[in-house]
Amino acid sequence: MSHILKMIAQRLALGLVTLFVVSLIIALGTELLPGDFAQERLGQSATPETVAALRAQLGLDQPFHIRYLTWLRDIVTSGDFGVSLANGNPVTEQISERLRYTLWLAFYAAAISVPLSLTLGILAALFRNSFFDRFANASALTSISFPEFFVAYILIFLLAGAGGVFPSMVNFRTDPTFSEYLYRAFLPAITLTLVVTAHMMRMTRAAIINLLASPYIEMARLKGIKPMRVVLRHALPNALAPIINVIALNLAYLITGVVVVEVVFVYPGLGQLMVDSVRVRDMPVVQGVALIFAAAYVLLNLTADVLATLSNPRLVHKR
């Protein structure tokens, strides 16, 4: 297991380097955006002197490298992402309030999509080239061919239109109960499910079919073992590595790629917070949210690598 711990340490070090590079790119990107918060807050009719005074008050008149190094130092030393320019509240508090809703939506969609995709992938591999296999593949390709906002609006039209049973906007005025949350967040969760299920289902199908031609699978069939047992007991455990990787990547998408879905359904998550902050040029919030998204990708990729390694005995017990 020592090589696994060594791999984790190496990936964590690379992850920290990646986050540093991402933070620099984020800061440069926000710096290159046209306009700034002072001009956006005061409007086009503001005099240059008034804009300059507000910029000096907020520290926006300092050189870029000074602002970036100060921001990075505060994150590393105290986990402080700064203060929102729009309302003066700590960015950490705003992110923590919205992060739980984004994580809830990601877990909600994952609880539906992961079992569904694994089941469809196993059945498609078991009955490959059948009508069910062709129908499942066609449906999967159709769902991933449409952008998220199109799928969201179709679901709103079908399930939340006139006489619909689900709300078209997710508005939590107070902390919802668990059942209320499941009801109100159903449409955004189904939208994400339709988007990510296809990738996981097709990877599961391909990984299992690739193993069904192996000699040990043929031997299991010759022994008279039932096809479903052959797939679940012999093929699936050896196909876990690629399946785990694609599931982890899609889970990362569920956390970081929800911006469009949250905007369509007015969902109070990190994606909606980022869009609102970009609109008013609240760059400390934009940088903080983007860094959280990057950290989620790094951690989930590390988790996928570790689980894929643990699922392969040849990698766990090296000689």
Q: What is the reported pLDDT for 98?
A: 87
Tokens linked to 239: 């196909």
Stretches where the chain sits below pLDDT 50 are: none
Query: What are the C-alpha distances in Å from 65 to residues 56, 57, 62, 239, 277?
Result: 16, 18, 8, 48, 22
Q: Dump pLDDT digits (tens) for 19-60.
A: 888 888 888 887 777 766 676 666 666 777 777 787 777 777
Predicted pLDDT of residue 108 = 92
> What is the spatial distance between Cα 234 and Cα 143, in angstroms, rounded to a whole number?
30
Q: What is the pLDDT of residue 78?
A: 82
96-281 classified as CATH 1.10.3720.10: yes
Q: What whole-number distance in Å separates Cα of residue 59 and Cα of residue 36?
A: 12
C-alpha to C-alpha distance for 284 and 230, rounded to whole angstroms: 54
Which CB contacts under 8 angstroms, 24+ apart, belong to 293-298?
293/255, 293/256, 294/18, 294/19, 294/22, 294/23, 294/26, 295/19, 296/252, 296/255, 296/256, 297/252, 297/256, 298/15, 298/18, 298/19
- CATH 1.10.3720.10 positions along the chain are 96-281
The counts of H helices and E strands in the chain are 17, 0
SS3 158: helix
Asked if 15 and 302 touch (Cβ cutoff 8 Å), the reply is yes
